[in-house]
């Protein structure tokens, strides 16, 4: 699963999206926090500006502190801090709940010990103008506002330091409400981001599936290519541009493979066909020479050995011709209803005559019919029985079992084997492979075509032949065919 390209693409999209979401969340929270602090700074500066535009009497600042409670609510009284110094940096007013941890040096302002000795401010008296209104007071020089954040008594405070030529005003606001409001955004992100990642995971999985869909098409086509289906090609209509070159390469490869296979099949078929006539002539000449040779003579034995080899060659040629026909899909079957139970029972009787020194067991279910070309099918069963007898050990066993399972005729043939024989299960059905390397051809006759031919005949009948079990001293094959109703 970890080597899945689709999973890698989905995980990559999730990781990339997660990083983007995390970066966006960090940026968004930073902007929100900065905007919130700027709003508080504007609010503090707006409140403070109204107080420092002109000179104020000392008693004004206590009233100002109380007015904040009346504006924001009595429960919010402790939310604000007020401190006022005169021009000599002496304290004029300090909120009763001012934290002792916050001193003048922390605020970056000078301060002189003791209360203010400056006389209280009295509004000047001006003569009225011709309009009857008093003239405006002279403008005061305002100090630039400074903002800073401090922590005291477990609270975080935002201060503005501002003033005029007479007074310095330090106005602070508790940020507890701001933090409570700001905390909603991370909590919202903590819920929204996992949900978004789940949705992105699902979307990434679907997009990855769509992205590798052409690969699945190529896999299906490649999986359906057999010796009888080399004419299949990958459709180019509607293919994505990125996969067009790959499709062209695969289709070109299939063209070359089909041509090469057709040439090899034609060569096998033509060679087998051309060899039949000279082998038949050679067989006839050897039979005539064998009849004319003196009895028990050396010439007669030589002709008999040569005739046996020619007959073996004719069998090999015939099998090669059948395999070439099977490869090209030209094995023509004359199907008829066959009582396979009776035929296999007869095959067991024939095998009994050949299996001298072997124990033969059979379990044949009666009345199982198939639609088959018995001439071909007989060859498959004879090949299996012949191998079971030839590739056996002394005093070994051969077992035939036949029955019907789920509308399939199932034939199982098992036999003991030579423990010293080395059998490669991956190569058992290869042509010309002879698994029992411990025996010479003089003891075990054959060309290594029997199993391959038997499987091709079974497949031509819509069945199959497979290796069922292989142990050190035992081997078993199963041949299945569609049962006739």
DSSP 385-413: HHHHHHT--TT-EEEEEEEEETTEEEEEE
Question: Quick one: three-class SS letters along 171-214?
Answer: EEEECHHHHHHHHHHHHHHHHHHHHHHHHHHHHHHHHHHHHCHH
Rounded Cα distance between 264 and 331, Å, is 17
* Percentage of the chain exceeding pLDDT 90: 16
Residues 6 or more apart whose CB falls under 8 angstroms from that of 221 comprise 232, 233, 234, 250
**What per-residue string of b and e applies to 35-68 under the rule 16 or more CB within 10 Å gives b?**
ebbeebbeebeebbeebbeebbebebbeebbeeb
For 465-477, the DSSP string reads EEEEEEETTEEEE
Q: What is the pLDDT of residue 125?
A: 55
Contact 90, 124 (CB under 8 A): no
- Would you say the pTM of this structure is higher than 0.85? no
The string of pLDDT tens digits covering residues 299-336 is: 888 878 888 777 777 767 766 666 666 666 667 788 89
The string of pLDDT tens digits covering residues 173-200 is: 988 888 888 888 888 888 888 888 888 8
CA dihedral sign, ordered 385, 387, 389, 393: negative
**Greater confidence, 96 or 443?**
96
The string of pLDDT tens digits covering residues 27-84 is: 988 998 899 899 999 998 888 888 888 788 888 888 888 888 777 766 666 788 999 9
Cα three-residue angle 108-111-112, rounded to 5 degrees:
165
List beta partners, residue 174: 157
Rounded Cα distance between 162 and 84, Å, is 10
Which CATH number does the domain 5-117+141-183 belong to among 3.30.70, 1.10.760, 1.10.10, 3.30.450? 3.30.450
Q: How far is residue 311 CA from its own chain's centroid?
A: 57
pLDDT band at residue 159, thresholds of 50, 70 and 90?
Answer: very high
Q: How far is residue 323 CA from its own chain's centroid?
A: 40
Q: Tell me whether strands 408-416 and 474-482 are parallel, antiparallel or unpaired.
A: antiparallel
Rounded Cα distance between 261 and 230, Å, is 9
pLDDT band at residue 227, thresholds of 50, 70 and 90?
Answer: low
**Greater confidence, 459 or 124?**
459
Q: What is the pLDDT of residue 369?
A: 94
Domain 336-482 classification at class level: alpha beta
Query: How do the domains of the chain map onto residue ranges?
Result: 5-117+141-183, 264-327, 336-482
């Amino acid at each position: 699963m970890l080597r899945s390209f689709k999973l890698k693409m989905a995980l990559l999209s999730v990781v990339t999206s997660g990083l983007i979401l995390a970066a966006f969340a960090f940026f968004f929270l930073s902007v929100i926090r900065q905007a919130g602090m700027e709003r508080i700074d504007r609010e503090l500066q707006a409140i403070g500006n109204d107080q420092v535009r002109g000179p104020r009497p000392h008693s004004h600042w206590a009233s100002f502190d109380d007015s904040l409670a009346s504006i924001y609510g009595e429960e919010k009284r402790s939310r604000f801090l007020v401190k006022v110094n005169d021009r000599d940096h002496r304290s004029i007013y300090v909120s009763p709940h001012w934290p002792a941890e916050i001193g003048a040096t922390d605020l970056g302002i000078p301060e002189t010990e003791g209360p203010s000795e400056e006389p209280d401010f009295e509004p000047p008296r001006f003569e009225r103008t011709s309009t009857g209104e008093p003239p405006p007071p002279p403008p005061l020089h305002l100090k630039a506002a400074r903002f800073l954040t401090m922590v005291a008594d477990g609270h975080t405070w935002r201060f503005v330091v501002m003033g005029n030529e007479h007074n310095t005003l330090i106005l602070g606001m508790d940020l507890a409400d701001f933090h409570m409001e700001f905390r909603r955004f991370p909590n919202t992100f903590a819920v929204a981001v996992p949900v978004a990642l789940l949705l992105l995971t699902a979307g990434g999985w679907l997009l990855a599936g769509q992205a590798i869909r052409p690969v699945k098409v190529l896999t299906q086509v490649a999986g359906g290519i057999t010796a009888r289906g080399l004419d299949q090609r990958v459709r180019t209509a509607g293919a994505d541009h990125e996969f067009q070159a790959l499709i062209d390469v695969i289709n070109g490869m299939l063209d070359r493979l089909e041509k090469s296979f057709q040439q090899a099949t034609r060569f096998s078929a033509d060679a087998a066909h051309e060899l039949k006539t000279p082998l038949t002539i050679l067989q006839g000449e050897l039979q005539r020479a064998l009849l004319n040779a003196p009895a028990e003579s050396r010439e007669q034995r030589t002709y008999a050995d040569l005739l046996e080899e020619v007959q073996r060659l004719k069998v090999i040629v015939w099998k090669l011709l059948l395999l070439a026909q099977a490869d090209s899909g030209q094995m023509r079957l004359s199907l008829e209803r066959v009582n396979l139970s009776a035929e296999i029972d007869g095959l067991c009787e024939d095998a009994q005559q050949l299996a001298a020194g072997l124990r033969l067991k059979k379990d044949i279910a009666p009345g199982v019919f198939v639609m088959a070309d018995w001439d071909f099918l007989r060859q498959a069963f004879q090949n299996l029985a012949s191998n079971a007898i030839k590739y056996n050990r002394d005093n070994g066993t051969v077992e035939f079992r036949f029955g019907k399972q789920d509308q399939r005729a199932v034939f199982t043939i098992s036999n003991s084997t030579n423990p010293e024989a080395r059998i490669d299960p991956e190569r058992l059905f290869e042509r010309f492979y002879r698994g029992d390397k411990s025996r010479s051809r003089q003891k075990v006759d054959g060309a290594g075509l029997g199993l391959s031919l038997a499987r091709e005949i079974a497949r031509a009948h819509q069945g199959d032949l497979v290796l069922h079990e292989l142990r050190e001293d035992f081997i078993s094959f199963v041949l299945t065919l569609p049962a006739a109703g």
